[in-house]
Amino acid sequence: MSKFLYEFLPIVLFFGVYKYTDDIYTATLFLIIATVLQVAYEWFTTRSVEKNRMIGLALIVILGGATLLFHDDAFIKWKVTIINLLFALVLAGSHFIGQKTIIERMMGSMLSLSPRVWKKLSYMWIFYFVFIAALNYYFAFHYGASLSDTERTDIWVNFKFYGLLGVTLVFMLIQIMFLSRHMKVEPDTNSSIKENE
């Protein structure tokens, strides 16, 4: 759970700054700074940075920078859709490259699942990323078409915080329920020894 909260820190800061200043550009600047500091902290404490975080940092710096440079919030609104589609494409591609999907390579040391279940889990993640990408696109560019730009941005910021957090929590619960049905339980050798004593 602490890792989950750590992942959402830049978003929480972005949301807080936006609500305090009512300015998407100030919030975007704080998002860029927070993400850079987060990656720097990870590098200095572990001497490594996860690839997905580096991709996220690159997109935030590029799209956030473009948002500030051109004073157009459409760039930062695209970030969630682009990064989630990239993750979905990478996961889908791993079904055709190598013996294992990326999900199995990442979580294989922690979970014991059959190849069929690993593929199902990978498809769940692909669906999740595509669903998030589509939802963000809808709230960023189509929802409330008759509203003013400020009102639409306010709705998108609320979605980015409450909506993404809610969907992610629901997906985590679904994933836990799915895994609990398919995990191979290893026999507890210690308990069997105690029973025989």
Q: How far apart are CA 161 and CA 111, in angstroms?
A: 30
**Average pLDDT over the chain, rounded to an integer:** 87
Could you give the number of structural domains in the chain?
1
Q: What is residue 187's predicted lDDT score, i.e. its pLDDT?
A: 47
| Residue 19 domain-assigned (yes or no) | yes
Angle (nearest 5°) at CA 81 between 171 and 62: 130
Q: How far apart are CA 146 and CA 74, in angstroms?
A: 17
| Residue 55 domain-assigned (yes or no) | yes
Phi, psi of 143 (to 5 degrees): -70, 135
Q: What is residue 5's predicted lDDT score, i.e. its pLDDT?
A: 61
Is residue 136 pLDDT above 90, yes or no? yes
Is residue 3 pLDDT above 80, yes or no? no
| Residue 88 domain-assigned (yes or no) | yes
- Domain span at 74: 2-184
What average pLDDT does range 77-100 have in this prediction? 93
